[in-house]
């Protein structure tokens, strides 16, 4: 592929790709996301390829491994086009029947369809499945149509048209204005206005300027950011390229862990393809805008997701937080103006440019616009990646999209925001996905939602988070390191039946001091789950301490706690 | 060089603009407790004892005096109720490691800290990092460093460097507010003299 030299040529290339594709031609999309691969998607793809060859249909049917559509619970997910028939939990043994009946004879195979557990109704199409129905899939909706390893697939669904539009008709200032008007806010949970950050960096005098896409996502149980990068790496790149154009940056980095090799592989391949097509490199789409983007493999460790330690580690220094008085937009990476945004913040940029800020800001609530992609896990029926408009209630997410609690158990709490987040009890489930509303409730809008049922011990769950942070904190400052140490000792005591009077008060003092005195946001937020649990589930603590009883029946005397 | 005027504990203080709040307070005879601070070293902001309340341009926040740059019209309060509570708890946490540290003892009474508030810890180290940073920043040797992270963080000498550099330096010893450093050093010496390479090294 020769480099594309102008936005007009890009449209021609796109037309070329589309004209070579017949929308009525049968095609089989198998989710090749990490979760589906773990449940056998690669074997299913191989079986389809073999079966199609066997039946002599190679010229008539396309098969592809596609990006994750989110319904990880029921993987491997297979969607047959053009009818958009959706089969779940497909095994290699099902493949020959699918090809013979569904592809050749257009017959739907009942047993592979989604069955609504409450009504018994079957859903033929993806869009009929309740899990998807209430979602608003602006960011992840095309995933199943796209092979993340194919830039042509991305172009076929309109990919890089926002970049074309920007190069053709927008100045950097206009791009920033559009992003500001859209009210796009930091999806790490910070809620910081992206347009404002970009503008500060653009105006800052230092050169060169850098941008970083934070795809660290060290929260236990969260996988939305990494799954998105894996499923739609070109959307991330397009957002970053537009951002660099607006900010005046010449280098961008994707900061990601290599625990999920698939994610890194797809990101690297996408960069290479974007370079070949002329979306990265010198004179992008014929303009005088040059840019390189690189994948930076982080060394693991939760605290590295924090801005100052992230940049320190990229500079080759010890990855621990530092007290800073300069904004990163003035002195960030290598002391140069830097914009650090969460992966999901970048992902929304092409959408905003394509739709226009006005239309984007109509989605969601007044102050929280657009959609939010969460990973939904725990004791819920439908585990997966979900995209909802801001303003949706958590009750709708858990019960309508998540399909309620597994095994007809009772709902106890929704954990939101990870180790620095909090709990939403039943009586607060009507809380909306909204930065301000969540902040008022003491919650952060992190990427992970974990459902706890009546058999979950909240004390044990909090202990788990404290243990996690006791290991993941860098250990630099006293209130975080020693605060966590002693909180954990007290929690171990409580869950082992040795809780004492005064323990809860001591936990409260420790958490208060930690919140106001810790050096970085990790320590400042480290006891948020503890605090939230003491507020909403104090009775569970009291049962452990006073009655030596774990109401959920989880805490055994010999717990496997981190002994310190 | 510019001079700024700020208020510390209701006292008007003039300070050079490149000063920190801690330096400005010290120049005015106002005492703010510190542990990990050292004039020769970069601010580290880890012990958090020097936290003060800083009001600047209408915003009030808690910050470490050792790192906070002075600003014109800044108002600093070094001993609010909240700050006393923070310092007391921090001291109590550190006393669980080093109950007989003289530096800590000196502050116990002033802040009403209870040295038995928290269960005692096996490690004496309070992680002020003075030894680690002094060796790296002043001596440029890095013979002692931190190992592990989180609650497992400890200091440790690097035997290969320590065996060559430490015997005639030991300047960090007097910086240590506890007995942790000497203990770690003796442990390293014991380790080195146990190892076969030690003999080769000393025969050279
Ligand atoms: C301990 C800690 C971990 C963090 N981890 C992440 C992370 O994994 N991903 C992320 O985008 N932001 C993380 N953040 C927030 C970042 O410091 C930073 O605010 C964010 O990347 C800015 O992006 P946004 O403005 O687009 O939300 C973390 C913060 C802390 C304190
Ligand atoms: S708050 Fe925790 S993670 Fe942050 S600097 Fe202090 S010890 Fe390190």
Q: What pLDDT shows up at residue A113?
A: 95
> What is the distance between the alpha carbons of residues A11 and A156, in angstroms, rounded to a whole number?
10
| pTM of this structure | 0.91
Residue A562 pLDDT level (bands cut at 50, 70, 90): very low
Best mutation site among B53, B59, B150 for testing chain A: the one with the most A CBs within 10 Å?
Answer: B150
Q: Is residue A365 part of a domain?
A: no
Lowest mean pLDDT among A161-165, A430-434, B181-185: B181-185
Which residue in the set A322, A472, A517 is minimally distant from B62, CB to CB? A517
Judgement on whether residues A271 and A175 belong to the same structural domain of the protein = yes
Q: Do A488 and B43 make contact, defined as CB atoms within 8 angstroms?
A: no
A471 and B96: CB-CB below 8 Å?
no
- Helix extents (H) in A215-356: 224-231, 233-247, 261-277, 307-314, 343-355
Place B194 in a pLDDT band, splitting at 50, 70 and 90. low
Q: What is the pLDDT of residue B203?
A: 45
The confidence band for A69, taking pLDDT boundaries of 50, 70 and 90, is confident
Residue A116, class by beta-carbon neighbours within 10 Å (0-12 exposed, 13-18 middle, 19+ buried)? middle
What pLDDT is stored for residue A557 in this prediction?
A: 60
User: Does residue A105 belong to the interface with chain B, where contact is any CB pair within 8 Å?
Assistant: no
pLDDT for B187 equals 80
Asked if the structure places residue A139 within a domain, the reply is no
> Would an 8 Å CB–CB cutoff place A427 in contact with chain B?
no
Residue nearest to atom 5 of ligand 1 (CA): A305
Percent of chain B with pLDDT strictly greater than 90: 79
CB spacing of A478 vs B149 below 8 angstroms? no
Q: Which of B62, B96, B149 has the CB atom closest to A516's CB atom?
A: B62
- Does the CB of B81 have a partner CB in chain A at under 8 Å? no
Question: Looking at the partner chain, which of A301, A325, A470 has a beta carbon nearest the beta carbon of B69?
Answer: A325
Query: Probe ligand 2: pick from A324, A475, A476, max atoms within 8 Å of CB?
Result: A476
Q: What CATH number is associated with residue A396? A: 3.10.20.600
Q: Which two tokens stand for residue A377?
A: 């896990």
The reply to whether A462 and A442 lie within a common domain is no
Decide if A532 is inside a domain: yes
pLDDT of residue A247: 98
Q: b vs e for A387-416, b when ≥16 Cβ sit within 10 Å of the residue's Cβ?
A: bbbbbbbbbbbbbbbbbbbbeeeebbbbbb
Tell me whether B119 touches chain A (CB under 8 Å).
Answer: yes
Residues B127, A517: C-beta atoms closer than 8 Å: no
Tell me, yes or no, whether A502 and A542 share the same domain.
Answer: yes
Give the whole-angstrom CA distance, residue A437 versus residue A281. 42
Whether A106 shows a pLDDT value over 50: the answer reads: yes
Do A108 and A252 sit in the same domain of this protein? no
Q: Closest chain B residue to A515 measured between Cα atoms?
A: B86
Residues A43, A175: one domain? no
Residue-wise pLDDT for B20-66, tens only, equals: 999 999 999 999 999 999 999 999 999 999 999 999 999 999 999 99
Residues A376 and A437 reside in one and the same domain = yes
Any ligand 1 atom below 6 A from CB of A472: no
Residues A159 and A119 in one domain: no
Q: Do B152 and A475 touch (CB under 8 A)?
A: yes
Which among B43, B94, B121 is the nearest to A478, CB-wise?
B94
* A319 Cβ below 6 A of ligand 2: no
Q: Which of A341, A360, A379 is the last residue of a domain?
A: A360
Q: How far is B117 from chain A (nearest CA, A)?
A: 9
Of A306, A312, A313, the residue with max ligand 1 atoms within 8 A of its CB, to mutate for a pocket test, comes to A306
How far apart CA A459 and CA B56 sit, in angstroms, is: 40
Cα–Cα nearest to B77, from B89, B91, B60, B90: B60
Residues A446, A494 within the same domain: no
Ligand 2 pocket, A522 CB below 6 A? yes
pLDDT category of residue A334 using cuts at 50, 70 and 90: very high
- Residue A303 Cβ < 6 Å to ligand 2: yes
Distance from the Cα of B90 to chain A's closest Cα (Å) equals 7
Q: Is the separation of the CB atoms in B184 and B127 below 8 Å?
A: no
- If you compute the radius of gyration of chain B from its CA atoms, what whole number of angstroms results? 20
Asked if residue A3 belongs to a domain, the reply is no
Mean pLDDT (whole number) for A2-25: 94
Residues A338-355 have a mean pLDDT of 97
Cβ atoms of A451 and A378 within 8 Å: the answer is yes
Give the per-residue pLDDT at B200.
47
Please name the helix (run of DSSP H) or strand (run of DSSP E) that holds residue A86, with its range, or none: strand A85-87
Quote the ligand 1 centre to A306 CA distance (angstroms).
Answer: 5
Nearest Cα residue to atom 18 of ligand 1: A307
Q: Stretch A174-190: mean pLDDT, rounded?
A: 96
Ligand that lies nearest to the alpha carbon of residue A306, given by its number in the listed order: 1
Distance A451 CA to ligand 1 centre (A): 23
Give chain B's mean pLDDT: 91
H-type helices in A248-306, by residue range? Answer: 261-277
- Asked if A484 reaches chain B (Cβ–Cβ under 8 Å), the answer is yes
- The residue whose C-alpha atom lies closest to atom 25 belonging to ligand 1 is A186
Confidence at residue B196, expressed as pLDDT on a 0 to 100 scale: 53
Please give the average per-residue pLDDT across B164-192, as a whole number.
86
Nearest chain A Cα to B67, which residue?
A: A323
pLDDT of A223: 86
Supply the ipTM of this predicted assembly.
Answer: 0.92
A341 lines ligand 1 (CB under 6 A): yes
Mean pLDDT of A239-254: 97
Q: Phi/psi at A327 (nearest 5 deg)?
A: -75, 145
State yes or no: pLDDT of A559 exceeds 50.
no
Q: Say yes or no: CB of residue A477 within 6 Å of ligand 2.
A: yes
N-to-C CA span, chain B: 54
Q: Check: CATH 1.20.1200.10 for B3-79?
A: no
**A164: domain CATH number?**
3.40.50.11540
Is A301 a residue whose pLDDT tops 90?
A: no
Domain count, chain A: 4
* Residues B156-179, mean pLDDT to the nearest whole number: 91
Is A324's Cβ below 8 Å from some Cβ in B?
no
User: A472 touching B, CB under 8 A?
Assistant: yes
A317 and A236 housed in the same domain:
yes
* Cβ–Cβ below 8 Å for A481 and B151: yes
CA separation for the pair A391, A384 (Å, rounded): 20
Could you tell me which of A423, A513, A421 has the C-alpha nearest to residue A469? Answer: A421
Chain A 247-306, residues with CB within 8 Å of chain B CB atoms = 301, 303
User: Which tokens hold the place of A24?
Assistant: 């009525």
Assigned token pair, A555: 């805490």
Report pLDDT for B94: 97
Q: How confident is the model at residue B83, as a pLDDT?
A: 97
Average pLDDT of the segment spanning A205-216: 96
| A185 lies in the same domain as A272 | yes
Nearest beta carbon to residue A477 from set B48, B86, B148: B48
Q: Quick check: A32 contacting B, CB < 8 Å?
A: no
Torsion of CA B10, B16, B22, B23, to 10 degrees: -120
Residue A11 lies in a domain: no
Domain of residue A398 covers 371-453
pLDDT at residue B202 is higher than 50: no
- What are the residue ranges spanned by the domains of chain B? 3-79, 130-203
> How high does pLDDT run on average in chain A?
93
If asked whether residues A391 and A523 sit together in one domain, one would say no
A7 Cβ inside 6 Å of ligand 2: no
B180 CB near a chain A CB, below 8 Å?
no
- Mean pLDDT, residues A205-232 taken together: 92
Same domain, A484 and A542: yes
Domain stop point among A403, A435, A453: A453
Band (pLDDT 50/70/90 cuts) for residue B204 is: very low
- Does B99 contact A at CB distance below 8 Å? no
- Kindly state the average pLDDT of the residues A113-118: 86
Residue at A14 is within a domain: no
Average confidence (pLDDT) over B151-166: 91
CATH number of residue A99's parent domain: 3.40.30.10
Which residue would you say has higher pLDDT here, A169 or A35?
A: A169
pLDDT single digits (tens) A390-427:
999 999 999 999 999 999 999 999 999 989 999 999 99
Q: Supply the CATH number for residue A501's domain.
A: 1.20.1440.230
Which pLDDT score, from 0 to 100, does residue B197 have?
Answer: 53
């Amino acid at each position: 592929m020769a480099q594309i030299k102008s936005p007009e040529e890009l449209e021609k290339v796109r037309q070329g790709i589309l004209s070579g594709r017949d929308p009525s031609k049968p095609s089989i999309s198998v989710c090749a996301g990490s979760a589906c691969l773990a449940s056998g998607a690669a074997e299913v793809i191989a079986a389809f390829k073999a079966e199609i060859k066997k039946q002599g249909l190679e010229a008539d049917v396309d098969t592809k491994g596609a990006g994750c559509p989110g319904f990880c619970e029921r993987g491997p997910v297979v969607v047959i086009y053009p009818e958009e028939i959706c089969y779940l939990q497909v095994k290699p043994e099902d493949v020959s029947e699918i090809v013979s009946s569904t592809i050749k004879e257009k017959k739907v195979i009942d047993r592979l369809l989604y069955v609504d557990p409450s009504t018994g109704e079957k859903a033929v199409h993806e869009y009929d499945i309740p899990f998807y129905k209430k979602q608003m899939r602006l960011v992840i909706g095309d995933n199943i149509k796209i092979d993340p390893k194919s830039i042509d697939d991305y172009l076929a669904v309109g990919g890089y048209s926002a970049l074309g539009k920007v190069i053709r008709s927008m100045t950097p200032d206009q791009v920033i204005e559009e992003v500001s008007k859209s009210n796009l806010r930091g999806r790490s949970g910070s809620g910081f206005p992206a347009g404002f950050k970009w503008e500060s960096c653009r105006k800052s005098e230092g050169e060169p300027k850098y941008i970083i896409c934070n795809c660290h996502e060290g929260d236990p149980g969260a996988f939305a950011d990494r799954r998105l990068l894996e499923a739609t790496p070109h959307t991330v790149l397009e957002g970053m390229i537009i951002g660099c154009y607006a900010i005046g940056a010449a280098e961008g980095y994707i900061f990601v862990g290599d625990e999920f090799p698939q994610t890194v592989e797809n990101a690297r391949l996408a960069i290479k393809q974007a370079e070949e097509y002329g979306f990265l490199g010198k004179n992008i789409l014929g303009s005088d805008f040059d840019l390189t983007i690189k994948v930076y493999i982080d060394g693991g460790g939760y605290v590295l997701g924090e801005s100052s330690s992230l940049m320190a580690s990229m500079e080759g220094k010890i990855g621990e937080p530092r007290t800073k008085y300069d904004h990163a937009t003035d002195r960030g990476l290598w002391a140069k103006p830097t914009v650090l945004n969460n992966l999901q913040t970048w992902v929304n940029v092409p959408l905003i440019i394509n739709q226009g800020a006005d239309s984007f800001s109509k989605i969601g609530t007044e102050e929280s616009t657009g959609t939010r992609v969460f990973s939904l896990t725990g004791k819920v029926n439908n585990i997966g990646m979900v995209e909802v408009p801001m303003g949706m209630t958590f009750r709708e997410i858990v019960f309508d999209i998540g399909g309620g609690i597994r095994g007809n158990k009772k709902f106890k709490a929704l954990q939101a925001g990870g180790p620095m987040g909090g709990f939403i009890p039943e009586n607060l489930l009507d809380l909306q996905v909204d930065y301000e509303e969540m902040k008022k409730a003491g919650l952060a809008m992190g990427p992970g939602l974990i459902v706890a049922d009546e058999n979950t011990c909240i004390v044990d769950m909090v202990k788990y988070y404290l243990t996690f942070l006791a290991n993941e904190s860098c250990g630099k400052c006293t209130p975080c390191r020693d605060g966590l140490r002693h909180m954990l000792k007290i929690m171990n005591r409580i869950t082992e039946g040795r809780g004492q009077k005064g323990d809860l008060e001591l936990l409260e003092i420790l958490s208060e001091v930690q919140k106001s005195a810790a050096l970085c946001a990790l320590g400042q937020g480290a006891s948020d789950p503890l605090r939230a649990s003491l507020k909403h589930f104090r009775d569970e603590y009291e049962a452990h301490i006073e009655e030596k009883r774990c109401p959920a029946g989880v805490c055994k005397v010999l717990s496997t706690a981190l002994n310190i | 060089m510019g001079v700024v005027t700020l208020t510390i504990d209701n006292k008007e203080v003039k300070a050079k603009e490149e000063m920190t709040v801690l330096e400005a307070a010290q120049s005015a005879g106002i005492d703010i407790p510190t542990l990990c601070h050292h004039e020769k070293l970069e601010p580290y902001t880890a012990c958090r004892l020097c936290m003060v309340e800083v009001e600047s341009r209408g915003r009030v926040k808690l910050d470490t005096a050792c790192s906070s740059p002075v600003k014109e019209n800044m108002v600093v309060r070094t001993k609010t109720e909240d700050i006393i509570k923070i310092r007391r708890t921090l001291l109590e946490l550190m006393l669980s490691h080093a109950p007989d540290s003289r530096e800590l003892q000196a502050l116990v009474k002033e802040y009403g800290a209870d040295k038995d508030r928290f269960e005692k810890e096996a490690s004496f180290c309070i992680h002020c990092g003075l030894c680690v940073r002094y060796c790296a920043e002043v001596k440029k040797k890095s013979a002692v460093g931190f190992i592990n992270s989180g609650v497992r963080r400890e200091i440790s000498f690097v035997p290969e460097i320590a065996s060559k550099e430490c015997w005639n330096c030991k300047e960090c010893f007097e910086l240590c507010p506890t007995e942790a450093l000497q203990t770690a050093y003796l442990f390293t010496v014991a380790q080195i003299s146990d190892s076969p390479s030690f003999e080769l090294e000393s025969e050279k």
